[in-house]
């Protein structure tokens, strides 16, 4: 697409120049209806039970068309709260604060909102979808206008004061048609690549499952493991409970606050410090004094198990770490007996579906998601001869490297596509490209 013939200064620093015939429209003067909502008292059942009125929260705003609300309220809640208004279809909603700050959505239903949503409705100047695209591509600049300390906050006044550059409604319609087509094509490509990443992760899980329960020899004789969800294992393998293949008793971590950030002290590893890829995060570093850490130091090869909360069952392999580290109280340390069980084998085993099945079987018997050392002690682990363990681990490292490299490549492609989509939207809604003849 080519640029417009002539341009002028928009008067908006981050927008730069706009086409000569475009104008600037202040939000406060461009909509007949601008408002927000409120939250009826959560402990009043009459405001929520059997409610059939759509009530939008910022969590419903995902740069999307909103066809339903996650929450509903009653007519009584609406009657008793004057700040609650029913907004019509084709209303633009903007999240003013919270985790989704700056996210937008277009109502395809009639709905009211909580106090964290700003509603823009009924304009003679704007195609709502054009404005939607404008907010999507200028989100960061709008958030930079926010106020507040720890949590940024876009007020209704900030939104009302915004000036939007735009052409006639007819030209806006052309821009929307162009972006709808192009963005949907890009999103479809992104979705296919994201699906490919999911398939690669499924392939990884399948390879690990096969390796830690059947080994690498497809012709090996099998025997029943004695565990229904584990199935058959090689005839020369064993099943051992975790407590019999560790060099010392399972240990809980330190119950100390994570306050220090001294790189000369042992790193204090917590559940929040490691991700699914097995690496430690740099931006969450905390430390403990040697006096507090000495009873909870980690040694090469230790495996940490999360014991409660949303991450229960998650594992971390302490391997090749430069420096010293200790671990926190919501983690349990297992030190494999390297004569029976290599730490690499144990860690890979915890990445299998069979480990997940065991974990889920423990939850069935409990009212809360909590796996203590008493339960981890009885985790059944497949045990191959040490040399075979090492050969299988080497095979898994090669497979993981192949899959990781492919996933990294695809994720870079996805990021580039997202950047291209963002740039395309910005160019169209700020007049950097002329799409008037787009059919």
pLDDT at 428: 97
pLDDT at 437: 87
Q: What percent of the chain has pLDDT over 70?
A: 98
- Residues 6+ away with beta carbon under 8 Å from 222: 214, 232, 233, 234, 235
pLDDT at 275: 78
Residue 232: pLDDT above 90? yes
Residue 368: pLDDT above 70? no
The rounded mean pLDDT for the chain is 94
The SS3 call for residue 315 is: strand
Residue 366: pLDDT above 70? no
Average pLDDT score over residue span 184-194 = 98
**Helices marked H in 115-167:** 128-137, 139-143, 156-161
**Helices marked H in 81-127:** none
Angle among Cα 373, 376, 380 to the nearest 5 degrees reads 155
pLDDT at 361: 87
Q: What is the pTM of this model?
A: 0.84
Residue 149: pLDDT above 60? no
For residue range 14-31, list pLDDT tens digits in order: 999 999 999 999 999 999
pLDDT category at 309 given cuts 50, 70, 90 is confident
pLDDT category at 282 given cuts 50, 70, 90 is confident
pLDDT category at 123 given cuts 50, 70, 90 is very high
Average pLDDT score over residue span 234-252 = 97
Residue 151: pLDDT above 80? no
Residue 152: pLDDT above 90? no
pLDDT at 146: 79
Angstrom distance (rounded) from CA 350 to CA 355: 5
pLDDT at 335: 97
For residue range 385-421, list pLDDT tens digits in order: 999 999 999 999 999 999 999 999 999 999 999 999 9
**Which region among 207-216, 291-300, 326-335, 363-372 has the lowest average model confidence (pLDDT)?**
363-372
The SS3 call for residue 244 is: helix
To the nearest 10 degrees (0 to 180), the angle between helices 169-214 and 353-364 is 90
CB contact at 8 A, 430 and 22: no
For residue range 79-108, list pLDDT tens digits in order: 999 999 999 999 999 999 988 999 999 999
Residue 365: pLDDT above 70? no
Domains present along the chain, CATH in parentheses: 23-166 (3.90.220.20), 238-383 (3.90.220.20)
């Amino acid at each position: 697409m080519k640029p417009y013939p002539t341009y002028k200064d928009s008067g908006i620093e981050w927008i730069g120049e706009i086409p000569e015939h475009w104008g600037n429209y202040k939000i406060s003067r461009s909509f007949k209806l601008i408002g927000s909502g409120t939250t009826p008292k959560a402990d009043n059942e009459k405001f929520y039970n059997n409610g059939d009125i759509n009530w939008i929260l910022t969590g419903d705003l995902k740069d999307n068309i909103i066809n339903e609300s996650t929450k509903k309220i009653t007519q009584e809640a609406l009657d008793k709260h004057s700040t609650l208004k029913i907004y019509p279809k084709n209303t633009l909603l903007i999240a003013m604060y919270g985790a989704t700050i700056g996210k937008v959505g277009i109502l395809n239903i009639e709905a009211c909102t909580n106090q964290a949503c700003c509603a823009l409705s009924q304009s003679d100047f704007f195609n709502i979808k054009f404005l939607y695209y404008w907010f999507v591509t200028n989100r960061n600049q709008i958030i930079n206008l926010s106020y507040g300390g720890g949590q940024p906050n876009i007020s209704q006044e900030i939104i009302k004061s915004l000036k939007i550059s735009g052409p006639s409604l007819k030209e806006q319609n052309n821009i929307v048609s162009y972006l709808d087509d192009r963005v949907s094509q890009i999103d479809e490509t992104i979705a296919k690549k994201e699906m490919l990443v999911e398939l690669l992760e499924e392939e990884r899980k399948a390879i690990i499952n096969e390796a830690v329960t059947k080994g690498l020899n497809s012709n090996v004789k099998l025997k029943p493991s004695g565990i229904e969800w584990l199935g058959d294992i090689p005839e020369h393998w064993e099943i051992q409970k975790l407590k019999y293949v560790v060099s010392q008793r399972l240990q809980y971590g330190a119950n100390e606050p994570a306050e220090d950030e001294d790189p000369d002290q042992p790193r204090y590893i917590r559940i929040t410090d490691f991700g699914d890829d097995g690496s430690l995060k740099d931006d969450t570093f905390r430390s403990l004094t040697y006096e507090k850490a000495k009873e909870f130091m980690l040694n090469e090869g230790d495996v940490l198990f999360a014991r409660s909360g949303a991450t229960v069952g998650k594992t971390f392999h302490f391997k090749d770490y430069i420096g010293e580290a200790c671990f926190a109280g919501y983690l349990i340390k297992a030190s494999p007996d390297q004569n029976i069980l290599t730490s690499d084998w144990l860690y890979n085993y915890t990445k299998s579906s069979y480990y997940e099945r065991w974990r889920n079987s423990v939850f069935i018997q409990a009212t809360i998601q909590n796996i203590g050392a008493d339960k981890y002690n009885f985790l059944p682990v497949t045990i191959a001869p040490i040399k075979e363990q090492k050969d299988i681990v080497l095979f898994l490292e090669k497979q993981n490297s192949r899959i990781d490299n492919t996933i990294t490549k695809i994720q870079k492609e996805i990021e580039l596509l997202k950047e291209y989509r963002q740039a395309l939207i910005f160019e169209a809604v700020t007049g950097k490209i002329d799409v008037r003849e787009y059919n």
